[in-house]
Structure 1
Amino acid sequence: MGAPLMARNIFNQPPKDEKESAAPSPTAPKAAKLPGSVGGLRDSLREITANSIRDIEPDQIEMDGLRDRLVLEDSSIDELAESIRKHGQQVPIMVRPSAQPDRYRIIYGRRRLAAIRMIGGTVKAIVRTLDDDASLIAQGQENNLRLDPSFIEKSLFIKEMQESGYKPNVIQDALGLTRQGVSNHRVVIEQLPEGLVQLIGPAHGIGRRQWGDLAAFSKKIDLVNTAKKVIAALPDDTPSAEKFQAVYSACSNKARSDKKQANGSLKSVVKDADGSSVGTLTVDQKTIAIKIAKKDNPEFGQWLEERAEAALLQIFEQWRNESGSGS
């Protein structure tokens, strides 16, 4: 979408690689005025940031809304909590008033809120009255700028937004995606069985093609049970991306094995009354083969070689007589 998406970036955020400890810029570039609640939010954000940051008790804030992260309570929250303990909360979260007095609903900043709940103290928050669409766009864009969600996290977020009835243009603006980009995420998530993503996790660095390849196995393999077995054998601290690779490798190997077995041949050893090997019989979908190893039974091999054609014709005539296929 290019320029239109930039025009709808509804708040001026620090660069994507800026850490939590970095303070927000006190000024923001002047932006073109936009219609509706989205435009109003951007036009007034500088004033809000400067004049409307409040200290709020964490238990006054409800963790509602759509989740855009698969993992919230992880080691990164511990690191963030330690940073805030040392340096203070430098970047405010954003909330909107709840229907209950002195209560708020989170818009963005769930990780910061979780970290402060760990260490105690109040939360610095921008309080803004937003409708559901503007709130969702603010949540999606802020997360994209601070800690880019993984492909599969975006896919789940898109699925939740669609199931909650958000319009396509709102979903596109929330994640900064084109219509085709949203479709690419949706196609993959719809092919994956429920519960598989939760087993693997966010898998940062694993893109659409890899998730799509894994989804393709679902037609022949029980992905969830396979993933459970694979992940159970891994160390508890295995990174999510490595879990994905282990599950994908196991599914790929199983698919190749099943295909080989389906297209493979049935081989049996023919033995005489004394248990000695006479030869081998190999049967697959296309051929029937009788093999005699001359080195194991040279005399029989020579005898059969001289009579093989006549013996085959005799067997064929016997089949015709027994099946009534003769002319």
Structure 2
Amino acid sequence: EALQRLGRPVKAIVKHLSDEQLVVAQGRENLERRDLSFIERALFAARLEDHGFARSALTAALAVHKGNLSTMITVARSVPEELIVAIGPAPKVGRPRWEQLAELLPKTGDRWRQAIVSPGFDALESDSRFARALKALSPRQAKKTKQVIKSDTGAPLVQIVQGKDRLQFTIEEKSAPAFGSYLIEQLPEIYAAFRRRADV
């Protein structure tokens, strides 16, 4: 516009680009303008493939190898776009954690929907939203119960921790120095007595 007012001519080079060339140029421009996160690049690639662009064009646009592009598209297709949009770019979250999230989704039904509408979710920054969603989908750890067996004087003898698949005994050697050795010696007989009782 300024050159128009001055009445000065300007030289311009006009290039006719194919759709694929345009995508490559746009992708490189986006990469140069800002550092796109893994999921932003993955979603960009998946959307372009949905519009019929060849993967050769996408590898050029995103400057990635074919194998990496395949992984990106697989993750983008495995995670609902609604969830990706709700989480946002998550700049500190790389491929391994997105793959972890994608693997959990088929096992957890619509639990992710509950996560993105949970109180305070929208107020979190993007990386924290990802962390909350991942936590909501992760297997819940079974609570361990703890019991302490004490002597007549109140000194702790044995600490028993009951987990989901394990029962753990910790013997306080200071309170009963020889008790651990005695218990180890008696375990075969104790187990045999248990088996006899179970057979009754």
Question: Normalising by structure 1, what TM-score?
Answer: 0.39
TM superposition shift of 1:194: 4.1
Alignment of 1:79-98 (within 5 A): none
Q: Is the 8 A contact 2:31 2:62 kept in 1?
A: yes
Residue of structure 2 in register with 1:224 after alignment: 112
Match 2:92 to one of 200, 205, 217: 205
Matched, 1:240 2:126: yes
Q: Structure 1 residues 165 and 145, CA, compared in 2 at 3 Å: closer, same or farther? A: same
Counterpart amino acid of residue 177 in structure 1: V
Residue of structure 2 in register with 1:256 after alignment: 140
Instruction: For 1:143 and 1:236, locate their aligned partners in 2 and report how far apart those are by CA, in whole Å.
Output: 26
- Which has the greater radius of gyration? 1
Counterpart amino acid of residue 256 in structure 1: R
TM superposition shift of 1:245: 1.5
Instruction: For 1:236 and 1:256, locate their aligned partners in 2 and report how far apart those are by CA, in whole Å.
Output: 23
* SS at structure 2 position matched to 1:184: helix
Match 1:51 to one of 5, 8, 11: 11
Q: Structure 1 residues 224 and 235, CA, compared in 2 at 3 Å: closer, same or farther? A: closer
Instruction: For 1:144 and 1:181, locate their aligned partners in 2 and report how far apart those are by CA, in whole Å.
Output: 16
Q: Structure 1 residues 145 and 128, CA, compared in 2 at 3 Å: closer, same or farther? A: same
Q: Is the 8 A contact 1:205 1:241 kept in 2?
A: yes
Q: Structure 1 residues 143 and 205, CA, compared in 2 at 3 Å: closer, same or farther? A: same
Instruction: For 2:16 and 2:116, locate their aligned partners in 1 and report how far apart those are by CA, in whole Å.
Output: 43
In structure 1, list runs of 5 or more residues that go unmatched: 1-49, 53-125, 265-283, 286-308, 318-327
Q: Deviations over 1:189-230 (max 9, x none)?
A: 23223421011111112110111111121132134324324x
Instruction: For 1:196 and 1:161, locate their aligned partners in 2 and report how far apart those are by CA, in whole Å.
Output: 19
Residue of structure 1 in register with 2:65 after alignment: 178
Q: Is the 8 A contact 1:151 1:208 kept in 2?
A: yes
Matched, 1:149 2:109: no
State, as a whole percentage, how many aligned pairs show the same letter.
29
Question: Normalising by structure 2, what TM-score?
Answer: 0.61
In structure 2, list runs of 5 or more residues that go unmatched: 1-9, 145-163, 166-192
Instruction: For 1:51 and 1:238, locate their aligned partners in 2 and report how far apart those are by CA, in whole Å.
Output: 49
Q: Deviations over 1:124-148 (max 9, x none)?
A: xx97532211111111000001112
Counterpart amino acid of residue 227 in structure 1: A
Q: Structure 1 residues 153 and 169, CA, compared in 2 at 3 Å: closer, same or farther? A: same
